[in-house]
Amino acid sequence: MTIPKEKMPITYEEMYEELLDVTEHFANQGASVFDVANLMSRFVTEMAFDCAPCPNKATHLLLSAITDRIERDHTGDEND
């Protein structure tokens, strides 16, 4: 059974792009980059703890995202 295109779930990339649009909207309304980052980090933290099956899973989700970003930032730094 295939899901018709109009019923297919939104992809990770599509959600990410829409969130970028929202942050751009905030910036156009005069929010600083720091204010947007602060708001989004707090929103994501609240959502993780509200939606995860337990606090340990929420913590793991958030720390995994942070670790992924740190590793991505340090890729290729072995020569430093």
Half-sphere exposure of 34 (CA within 13 A, CB side): 0
Q: Distance between CA 46 and CA 39 in Å, rounded?
A: 11
pLDDT, position 51: 97
pLDDT tops 60 at residue 79: no
The token pair at 67 is 């670790």
pLDDT at residue 78 greater than cutoff 70: no
pTM: 0.73
Closest by Cα among 47, 48, 20 to 36: 20
Q: What percent of the chain has pLDDT over 70?
A: 88
Assess whether pLDDT exceeds 60 at residue 77: yes
Contact 52, 58 (CB under 8 A): yes
Mean pLDDT of the chain: 91
